[in-house]
C-alpha cells in the first residue's frame, strides 16, 4: 500500500511533464506563426528591414518563461515560417539568392543562441532562487530544532505582540496543556493571567513589560535582562530571568521580537537562603562577642573581626596584607597542639575546641579557646572562632591560690590539734591508774571524747590534704619523684595497708606470674591512686562482698584494676566521676568516709603524669571495676629496688 502511494506521485509528475511539453510545443509553434501572420497582414516585410527581430523577441520571451525546449523549437519554427511564408519564392523552402540563404541561417543560429542563452540565464536564476529557498527552509528548521532543544522558554511575536511561535519549554514553564486554547496566548489575555510583577511583588506597568520593551526596539540581554515574577496558568508563582531582542526588517523597522524566559525560581530561593545564612553569620561575626578569623592552611588571614584585632593587638591591615600570619601568633610550646588541630581540620573538616595561649603584639601572652571548621575545601580556608579566656583563667588562678592558702592555713592548726589530742591521750594513759576510781571514770569518758575528736581531725586533715593536692595540680606544682620501682611491690604493700585498716573486709589480690614489673614511678603517688580506688570500693560495696585487686602485664604496660560489687555507675557517671568535686550519690554525705569528690581527679592526674591511663567499667547494679595502666620500663640496665 505504501509502495503504491510512493509510486503515484511519480506517474503524476510524468503526466504533468508531458502536458508541459505539449504546452511548450503549442506556444513554440504558435508564437512565431503569430508573428508571421502580423508581418503578412501588415506587409511589414520588406517594409521594415529588421522585422525578423520580432521572432527573436518571441524566442527570448519563451526562453525566459518556458525554458530551453520552447526557445529552440520556436527558433526553428520561426526559421521555417520566415523561409516558407515571407522570403520569396513563397510557399517554398528555396531562396533565390545565396545572401538570402546566409541571412536566413544566420537568423536561425542567432535565434537558437539567444534562446539558449536566455534559457540558461533564466534557469540559473530559478536554481539560485530554489537554493535560497532551501537554505532558508533549512535555517528555519535548525532554528526551530534549537528552540525545541532549549530548556528556556522562547516566544516569537509580531509587531503587535501577538505570539507567532512558542517552544515546548515555554508551554511547559507556563503549565499550558498540549491542546491549550490558543486564545490564551493573545496579548491582553496572556498579560492578564501572567500578572507580571517585580521581585517585591509589585505589578509592572505596561511600558515595563519585557515584550513591549523589546517591541519598542530595546535589547534585553546581559546586564539589561529583567528578573520578574509571573504566575503560570495554574496560578503558581515563578521567577523568570527574561532576555529578548527585536526582529527588524531590511529597513530597520521592528517587525516583531524574540523573548527568552529562564526559570530562576530555585536559584533565587537558594540565593535568598544563602543570603539569610550569610546574614546570620555576619551578624554573629560583627557582634564582636568573640574573635572570628578566616585563614588558609598556611596561616594567611583572609578575614578578621574587630574582637580578634583587639585580642592580639595587630591592626586589620597588618593581618590582611599578609604581614602577619597565624603561625607568627603561635608560641613554640603550642606548636604540637596546633599541628594536631590543623591535622584534624584537614582530615575531618572540623577543629574541636582547645585551649592555648597566643602572642599579643606587645609580647604578652593571652589565653584563648579556639574551635574551627573548614569552609572552603578547594582553597583550604578555615573559619576559626576564638574566645578570650584570660579573665576566666585569672579567676581560676586566684581561686587556686586562695584554696592553696586556705589549705595551708588549715593544715597547721590541724597538725597541732592532733598533736595536742595525742598528748592529752598519753597523759590520761600515764595518770589513769594513780587516780581515785571516780576520777578514773571521768578520765575514761574524756579519753573517749578525745578519740572521737581525733577521728574527726583525721577526716578534716584528709580533706584538707586533698584540697591541697588539687590546688597543686591546678597550679602545675604537682611534682613526682620518679624512681625505678617494682609495681608488684607497690600493689602488695598498698593492699596490705588497706587490709590492716579494714580487717573485717575481704580483699583478694591477683598478681601476675612475673615477680618483677619494672617501671619509672613515684611509688607513693601510685600507692595513693590504688588506695583511692580501694577505699572507694570498700566504701561503696556491701560489707559482706569481697573486693578484688588484680595486676596484669599487657605487652608494654601494666594494668591494675579494683573490682567491687557496689551500686555501679551509669555511662554518664562513668565519664563524670573523673571531674573535680563530682560525687554521684549523696554529696552531702557525712561521717568518717565523707569525701569532696576529688580522689579520682587526683588519681587521674597522677596516672597521666606517669604517661598512663585511667578508666572504669561498670553498669548500674553490677559493680564497678576501676583501672589504671602504667608503661613498663623496658631498660634492662638497672634492677628496681625491691622494697620487700
Q: Which residues bind ligand ADP (CB under 6 A)?
A: 532, 536-537, 540, 564, 566-567, 569, 577, 582-585, 595-601, 624
- How far apart, in whole angstroms, are the C-alpha atoms of residue 314 and residue 320? 10
CB of 522: closest distance to ligand ADP in angstroms? 19
CB closer to ligand ADP out of 128 and 524:
524
What beta strand segments (E) does 489-579 contain?
A: 507-510, 518-521, 547-554, 557-564
Query: Nine-digit cell at 313?
Result: 593587638
Percent composition of the chain: helix, strand, coil (DSSP 3-state, to 5): 55, 20, 30
Query: Nine-digit cell at 631?
Result: 608503661
Pair type for strands 507-510 and 547-554? parallel
CB of 316: closest distance to ligand ADP in angstroms? 48
Phi then psi for residue 5, to 5 deg, are: -55, -35
CB closer to ligand ADP out of 81 and 624:
624
CB closer to ligand ADP out of 300 and 580:
580
CB closer to ligand ADP out of 172 and 583:
583
DSSP 8-state symbol, 197: B
Phi then psi for residue 244, to 5 deg, are: -175, 170
CB of 599: closest distance to ligand ADP in angstroms? 3
CB of 564: closest distance to ligand ADP in angstroms? 5
CB closer to ligand ADP out of 407 and 536:
536
CB of 512: closest distance to ligand ADP in angstroms? 23
Q: Is-contact 258 152, C-beta < 8 A?
A: no
3-state secondary structure 69-117: HHHHHHHHHHHHHHHHHHCCCCCCCCCCCHHHHHHHHHHHHHHHHHHHH
DSSP 8-state symbol, 330: B
- How many CA within 13 A on the CB side of residue 229? 14
Nearest alpha-carbon partner for 593 in 459, 460, 496: 459
Helix axes 2-41, 68-81, angle to 10 degrees: 30
CB closer to ligand ADP out of 257 and 599:
599
- How far apart, in whole angstroms, are the C-alpha atoms of residue 609 and residue 520? 11
CB closer to ligand ADP out of 255 and 501:
501
Nearest residue relative to ligand ADP (C-beta): 595
Nearest alpha-carbon partner for 443 in 454, 432, 430, 427: 432
CB closer to ligand ADP out of 239 and 537:
537
CB closer to ligand ADP out of 259 and 529:
529
DSSP 8-state symbol, 363: S
CB of 533: closest distance to ligand ADP in angstroms? 7
CB of 478: closest distance to ligand ADP in angstroms? 16
Query: Nine-digit cell at 255?
Result: 517587525
CB of 577: closest distance to ligand ADP in angstroms? 4
CB of 289: closest distance to ligand ADP in angstroms? 35
- The angle at the Cα of 27, spanning 24 to 28, to the nearest 5 degrees, equals 80
Amino acid at each position: 500500500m505504501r509502495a503504491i502511494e510512493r509510486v503515484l506521485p511519480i506517474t503524476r509528475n510524468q503526466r504533468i511533464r508531458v502536458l508541459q511539453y505539449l504546452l511548450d510545443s503549442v506556444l513554440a509553434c504558435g508564437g512565431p506563426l503569430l508573428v508571421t501572420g502580423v508581418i503578412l497582414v501588415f506587409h511589414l516585410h520588406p517594409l521594415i528591414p529588421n522585422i525578423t527581430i520580432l521572432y527573436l523577441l518571441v524566442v527570448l520571451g519563451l526562453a525566459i518563461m518556458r525554458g530551453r525546449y520552447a526557445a529552440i523549437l520556436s527558433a526553428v519554427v520561426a526559421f521555417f515560417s520566415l523561409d516558407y511564408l515571407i522570403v520569396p519564392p513563397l510557399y517554398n523552402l528555396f531562396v533565390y539568392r545565396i545572401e538570402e540563404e546566409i541571412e536566413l541561417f544566420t537568423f536561425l543560429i542567432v535565434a537558437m543562441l539567444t534562446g539558449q542563452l536566455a534559457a540558461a540565464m533564466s534557469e540559473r536564476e530559478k536554481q539560485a532562487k530554489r537554493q535560497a529557498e532551501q537554505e532558508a527552509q533549512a535555517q528555519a528548521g535548525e532554528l526551530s530544532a534549537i528552540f525545541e532543544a532549549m530548556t528556556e522558554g522562547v516566544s516569537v511575536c509580531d509587531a503587535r505582540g501577538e505570539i507567532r511561535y512558542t517552544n515546548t519549554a515555554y508551554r511547559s514553564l507556563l503549565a499550558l496543556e498540549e491542546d491549550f486554547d490558543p486564545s490564551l496566548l493573545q496579548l491582553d489575555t496572556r498579560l492578564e493571567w501572567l500578572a507580571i510583577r517585580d521581585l517585591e511583588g509589585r505589578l509592572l506597568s505596561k511600558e515595563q513589560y519585557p515584550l513591549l520593551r523589546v517591541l519598542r526596539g530595546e535589547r534585553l540581554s546581559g546586564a539589561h535582562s529583567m528578573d520578574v515574577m509571573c504566575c503560570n496558568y495554574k496560578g503558581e508563582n515563578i521567577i523568570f530571568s527574561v532576555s529578548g531582542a527585536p526582529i527588524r526588517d531590511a529597513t530597520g523597522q521592528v517587525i516583531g521580537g524574540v523573548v527568552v524566559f529562564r526559570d530562576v525560581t530555585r536559584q533565587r530561593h537558594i540565593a535568598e537562603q544563602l543570603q539569610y545564612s550569610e546574614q546570620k553569620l555576619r551578624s554573629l561575626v560583627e557582634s564582636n562577642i568573640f574573635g572570628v578569623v578566616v585563614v588558609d592552611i598556611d596561616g594567611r588571614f583572609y578575614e578578621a573581626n574587630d574582637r580578634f584585632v583587639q585580642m592580639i593587638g595587630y591592626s586589620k591591615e597588618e593581618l590582611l596584607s599578609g604581614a602577619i600570619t597565624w603561625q607568627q601568633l603561635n608560641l613554640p610550646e603550642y606548636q604540637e597542639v596546633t599541628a594536631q588541630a590543623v591535622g584534624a581540620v584537614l582530615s575531618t573538616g572540623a577543629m574541636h575546641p582547645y585551649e592555648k595561649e597566643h602572642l599579643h603584639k606587645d609580647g604578652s601572652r593571652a589565653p584563648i579557646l579556639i574551635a574551627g571548621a573548614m569552609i572552603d575545601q578547594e582553597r583550604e580556608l578555615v573559619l576559626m572562632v576564638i574566645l578570650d579566656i584570660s579573665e576566666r583563667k585569672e579567676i581560676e588562678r586566684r581561686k587556686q591560690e586562695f584554696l592553696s592558702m586556705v589549705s595551708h592555713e588549715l593544715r597547721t592548726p590541724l597538725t597541732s590539734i592532733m598533736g595536742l589530742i595525742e598528748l592529752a591521750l598519753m597523759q590520761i594513759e600515764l595518770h589513769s591508774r594513780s587516780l581515785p576510781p571516780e576520777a578514773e571514770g571521768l578520765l575514761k569518758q574524756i579519753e573517749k571524747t578525745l578519740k572521737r575528736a581525733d577521728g574527726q581531725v583525721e577526716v578534716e586533715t584528709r580533706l584538707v590534704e586533698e584540697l591541697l593536692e588539687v590546688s597543686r595540680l591546678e597550679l602545675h606544682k604537682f611534682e613526682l619523684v620518679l624512681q625505678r620501682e617494682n609495681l608488684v611491690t607497690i600493689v602488695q604493700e598498698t593492699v596490705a595497708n588497706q587490709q590492716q585498716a579494714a580487717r573485717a573486709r575481704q580483699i583478694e589480690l591477683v598478681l601476675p606470674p612475673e615477680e618483677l614489673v619494672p617501671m619509672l614511678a613515684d611509688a607513693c603517688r601510685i600507692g595513693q591512686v590504688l588506695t583511692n580506688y580501694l577505699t572507694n570500693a570498700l566504701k561503696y560495696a556491701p560489707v559482706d562482698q569481697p573486693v578484688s585487686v588484680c595486676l596484669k602485664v599487657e605487652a608494654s604496660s601494666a594494668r591494675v584494676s579494683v573490682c567491687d560489687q557496689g551500686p555501679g555507675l551509669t555511662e554518664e557517671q562513668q565519664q563524670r566521676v573523673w571531674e573535680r568535686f563530682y560525687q554521684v550519690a549523696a554529696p552531702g554525705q557525712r561521717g568518717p568516709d565523707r569525701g569532696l569528690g576529688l580522689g579520682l581527679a587526683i588519681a587521674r592526674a597522677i596516672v597521666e603524669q606517669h604517661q598512663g591511663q585511667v578508666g572504669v567499667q561498670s553498669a548500674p547494679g553490677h559493680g564497678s571495676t576501676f583501672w589504671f595502666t602504667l608503661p613498663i620500663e623496658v631498660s634492662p640496665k638497672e634492677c628496681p629496688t625491691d622494697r620487700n
